[in-house]
Amino acid sequence: MITFLRLMLQGAYRNFVRIVLKADRATSLEIRNKVLTLSVPAWETVLDEMCIGCGGCAKVCPTQAITMVKLEKPVEIAEGYMREQVPRIDLTKCIFCLNCHDFCPIYSVFGEAAPIHARDVGSPKLTLREILKKPIRAPPEKIEELKKLIPPETVEFLRGGKK
Ligand code: SF4
Ligand code: SF4
């Protein structure tokens, strides 16, 4: 324990010296300036326009780091199906297990990049409407697992109720 603490303090001190005193070249000037001006951009963890608002990610998060936030104006993402809420991740509670990503239906049902990823969502290749038109790729066991996480009408919607 004492060794661990010593290593942690040594690491923190070295990084502090690198960033603030520019003591060696491990930190680029660009990064150093961003750190010192508090302008390091936070990575994007949720792409609202790719989300169906099912809330599965919030249910599967082991640390309750995800809160579903109601949209002021729900969005019709397919005929008769509204997105009413979207997730927000509190990265101070996140342990980067990626359960949210792995259980998101967009990833687990359609095999596309999920709209949620604690380490940056990246850029999707398809629109949500295009993804929803794709055939289901998930095995029946996965659908059964999802049934425990998301509302039955959402399961039906994913199975082909959408237009
Ligand atoms: S990656 Fe973070 S937000 Fe996602 S399920 Fe794990 S702890 Fe929760
Ligand atoms: S599991 Fe995926 S689709 Fe469902 S609310 Fe979370 S991010 Fe959106």
Assess whether pLDDT exceeds 70 at residue 27.
no
pLDDT digits (tens, 9 = 90+) for 107-139: 999 999 999 999 999 988 999 999 999 999 889
**Where do the domains of the chain lie?**
2-36, 48-161
The pTM is what?
0.79
Q: Using the mean position of ligand 2's atoms as its centre, give its distance from the Cα of residue 2 in Å.
A: 42
Quote the percentage of the chain above a pLDDT of 70.
Answer: 94
What residue's CA is closest to ligand 2, atom 4? Answer: 54
Ligand nearest to the CA of 56: 2
Ligand nearest to the CA of 77: 2
- 52 Cβ below 6 A of ligand 2: yes
Burial of 140 (0-12, 13-18, 19+ CB in 10 A): exposed
Cα 59 to Cα 19, 83, 89, 111, distances in angstroms: 39, 17, 12, 20
Q: Using the mean position of ligand 1's atoms as its centre, give its distance from the Cα of residue 163 in Å.
A: 31
Assess whether pLDDT exceeds 70 at residue 9.
yes
Q: What is the pLDDT of residue 38?
A: 86
Q: What is the pLDDT of residue 25?
A: 62
- Number of Cβ within 10 Å of residue 45's Cβ equals 22
Cα(first)–Cα(last) distance of the chain, in Å? 58
- 50 vs 10: which has the higher pLDDT: 50
What residue's CA is closest to ligand 2, atom 1? Answer: 104
